A and B are shown apart, each in its own frame.
Chain A
Amino acid sequence: MANRQTDEQLDRAGRLVLRSATGSEAETEAAATSPFVFTRMRAAIAEEERRRNETGGWLSMFLVARRAVPAMALVAVLAAILTVWSAQLSAPSAPVQSDEEALFGTPAAGVEQTVLASRNGPSKDEVFNIVVDRNYGEGAK
């Protein structure tokens, strides 16, 4: 009960303080009729308009750029597809590995071996014999 009474008393004092902190009629009237307020307000409006015009240029550029994003993404995807497609077209087909290659490994570079190691050509043994025979013949000469 006493607490409630104290709260009510404090609330009344609070209202008194709030009312006392308000501007007087004279101050309010002086502020409302001040000849400079309208001039300052017009200056503030002009300044704000200038600021908006400046930022408006950047804003419109940003909006245009934002609208261009989907188109740019589409162009990027198309370019990627074209790149992959053209790379696949120009790539040589993978050579088929012969049985001999699987057994003896990839032959070293050389005209004879390239010719002789073709799929329908002679076997490694035949090639070996040819080379030995040729060397033998040259030696015999």
Chain B
Amino acid sequence: MLVAGANAGDDLAFEELFNRYRRHVAYTASRFFARREQIEEIIQDTFTKAYFALDSYHGTHEKSFKAWLTQIAVNSSYDQLRRARRRPEQALSDLNDTESHEIALQLRSAGRDIESALVSRDLAVKLLARLSAEDRLVLTLLDVEGFSVAEIAEMTSWSVSKVKVRAHRARAHLRRVLRRYL
């Protein structure tokens, strides 16, 4: 109903959709980005894309609209991750000796009780900046969000085998990155 109204040009209906789903989009963005400005950028980008793609949405249930919006948010996050890797300031993501020592300590002290442990957010972000956007995307969706391979394939428009191969390579890459700290 709201979607149909927004699609027909009803600005109030679109505003209602925005208010209803902005938290969900913010949550999806926060899986990939820690800073508030980055999350805001993803919210803005997601709803802008959704606005122009409303006529391609053919679902009828609220749940499917949420899934559709999640797909747009994930793809916006992926685009943002790729753009971030192309920026020159990415070189600043290298960890210095003190930071390397600190993250090694944090990872070792987490031990087996890793589910309740956390490492410093800034250090974790710097460490993950060494992964490609594809690696980061697939590992976050699999290991943080708990999506299945099929769900990720649908979300990213990749084939199931591509998701599996990408996940395997991403995991191997992350192991190589972490090996020096453990």
A residues sitting closer than 8 Å to B (CB atoms) are 7, 9-24, 27-34, 36-38, 40-41, 44-45, 48
Partner of A21, one of B18, B44, B114, B128: B128
Contact residue among A12, A40, A48 (Cβ-Cβ distance under 8 Å from B52)? A48
Q: A14-B174, A28-B23 are in contact. List 20 more A-B contacts (CB 8 A).
A: A14-B143, A14-B175, A15-B143, A15-B144, A19-B118, A20-B118, A20-B124, A21-B124, A23-B34, A23-B38, A24-B121, A27-B36, A27-B39, A28-B29, A31-B30, A31-B39, A32-B23, A32-B39, A38-B15, A40-B44
Main secondary structure on A side of the interface with B = helix
Q: Number of B interface residues, CB 8 Å?
A: 51
Q: Closest Cβ of chain A: how far from B127's Cβ, in Å?
A: 6
Q: Answer whether A12 and B51 are a contact pair too, CB < 8 Å, given A18-B140, A31-B26, A41-B18.
A: no
14 contacts between A and B (CB under 8 A): A11-B175, A12-B114, A13-B110, A13-B182, A14-B175, A16-B107, A17-B124, A18-B143, A19-B144, A21-B121, A31-B43, A32-B43, A41-B18, A41-B43
